[in-house]
Amino acid sequence: MRYIEPIGSDADYIERKTNTPKYCACPQCGQKGKRRRVKKRRIAHVGTLYRRSFIEAQVGVYQARCQCSRYFQAPIPGVPYKGRYSFAVRELIANSLIRDRMSYQHVLDRLREDYLLEVSLGYVHSCFVWAHQQIDTQAHWAFVCENFSGLLCIDEVHDGKWTILFATDPLNDFTVFFKLVDQNDQPQMNQFLQDLKDRGLKAEVVITDGSPLYKNSLQNYWREVEHQLCIFHVIKEVNKLILDGVRAIKNRIKRQGNKGRKKRRGRPTKSAQKQRQTQQKKTKKEEATFIFEHHYLIVRKAEDLTDEDQHNLDLMFEIAPELKLFRQFNHQFYRLFEKGISKQTARYRRTQMVNNTDYLNNPFLAKALKKLKKERFEKMIVFMGWENVERTNNHVERNNRSFRMLQKTRYKRRRKHTIEMALELDLYQRMIKHPLYQPNTLHDLAAIEEPLPLKLAA
């Protein structure tokens, strides 16, 4: 028997339940016991907003015939055995932590403000542990094996004394695997790759940054794998060298401005001010300041320049004509990874840059050319041999940022097992929302998308 008794708009919200059969099964072994008395219980609940909610139950107390216990109580629907809070409270706390990514303190505030319910911090953490016990961690790996495209992004993220190694599938947009390690070294990376191989994952293309940990490891586990270096990291390294060269030119012009007769102290006369205003030419220090304020235009793509940017760029070339060489190098460098070209075209363009004597005679551009060594360059243009391979590892970088946001509100989770549980819960929650996920229930087969495989370029 069950009925709800809402008493007034501001009074407590009460659900009344009764479970007092003459005989009831032991919750541990199932052996039936006879009822000895009836007990009233009141359990905290979250039935409605801005009102206290309770479940008031009358349950039978039974004498056990087994060795599990002396007495036991009849179960209450929607309430854990001998629990102080209903399952609805547990689920609300678990969803707040996992789905809404709230901190423990914010969960306590939500219960206090929205449901007038006070719980302890320890109970919030126990709900987090309980939620982890409800998921099937093997189901996520089965989902990965079924929908893996063959394209893998690998990167690491540092969290205090821990390092988390992540592998993602950018084509079908899910996290493949993670591992929490205490040191980011070669043995840990080798074990991470071995775990991926042991689970039956076969990668055809792997995208990484320029870390030396991946240099000779990937072919040891997948013989036919192609290693794509992240273009974003290469562009970042080369542009830094170009801007170092621009900064050196700026400093040289600034030093030239310090030469000659010093200015008199005090304000200039009105005639000197008028003469200064009529002069169009800037001083050396002003020229150096102008270059410093607009140095980023040297490495900006041509299609992203506005009319004002082009005007400022022309003024920079008038001040220091040697900047044209850096701009030319940057323009040719971007054309190496232009979409729609073949590997042969990219190799030809690289050869032209490497053999350019003007670049080789410039110390900054000579260092930049070392980033384009033949063996390393071949790893940069792997994506040109495929139709749908990414040029960067931005997908796993976004995954890392998602973990950063997850940890930002989880200051209590700094131990290895709590971080692993939080990650497994987050992966499971994202898996059940993924369009490729097929639950074990009746569903519309037409609504399920097909996983995308890797495709070779025509």
pLDDT confidence tier of residue 5, bands split at 50, 70 and 90? low
Q: Report the alpha-carbon distance of residue 321 to residue 325 in Å, rounded.
A: 8
Helical residues (DSSP H) of 148-298, grouped into ranges: 186-198, 218-221, 231-257, 270-278, 284-293
* pLDDT value, residue 4: 57
- The answer to whether the beta carbons of residues 434 and 130 sit under 8 Å apart is no
Amino acid letter for position 141: W
Reduced 3-state DSSP string for 82-118: CCCECHHHHHHHHHHHHCCCCCHHHHHHHHHHHHCCC
Q: Average pLDDT in the 246-254 region?
A: 92
Assigned token pair, 321: 């004509």
Domain range 138-230+392-438, CATH class: alpha beta
pLDDT confidence tier of residue 214, bands split at 50, 70 and 90? confident
Q: Average pLDDT in the 348-359 region?
A: 95
pLDDT over threshold 90, residue 354: yes
Domain ranges of the chain: 2-84, 89-134, 138-230+392-438, 231-257+278-385
Over residues 376-415, the pLDDT tens digits come to 999 999 999 998 898 999 999 999 888 888 776 665 567 8
- Which positions ≥6 away from 430 have C-beta within 8 Å? 174, 175
What does each C-alpha distance from 51 to 3, 83, 269 come to in angstroms?
Answer: 18, 21, 78
Question: Which 8-state DSSP code applies to residue 421?
Answer: H
Q: Report the alpha-carbon distance of residue 129 to residue 104 in Å, rounded.
A: 13
Over residues 230-243, the pLDDT tens digits come to 999 999 999 999 99
CA atoms within 13 A on the CB side of 201: 28
Q: Report the alpha-carbon distance of residue 34 to residue 15 in Å, rounded.
A: 26
Nearest to 203 by CA among 438, 433, 400, 382: 382
The 10 Å Cβ neighbour count of residue 166 is: 23
* pLDDT value, residue 410: 61
- The answer to whether the beta carbons of residues 14 and 5 sit under 8 Å apart is yes
Over residues 22-71, the pLDDT tens digits come to 999 998 888 899 999 999 999 999 988 899 999 999 999 999 988 888 89
Rounded percentage of the chain residues whose pLDDT exceeds 90 = 60
* pLDDT value, residue 442: 39
Which residue, chain included where needed, has tokens 């009319």?
307
Q: Report the alpha-carbon distance of residue 246 to residue 295 in Å, rounded.
A: 7
Query: DSSP secondary structure string, 345-375?
Result: HHHHHHHHHHT-HHHHHSHHHHHHHHTT-HH
* pLDDT value, residue 444: 44
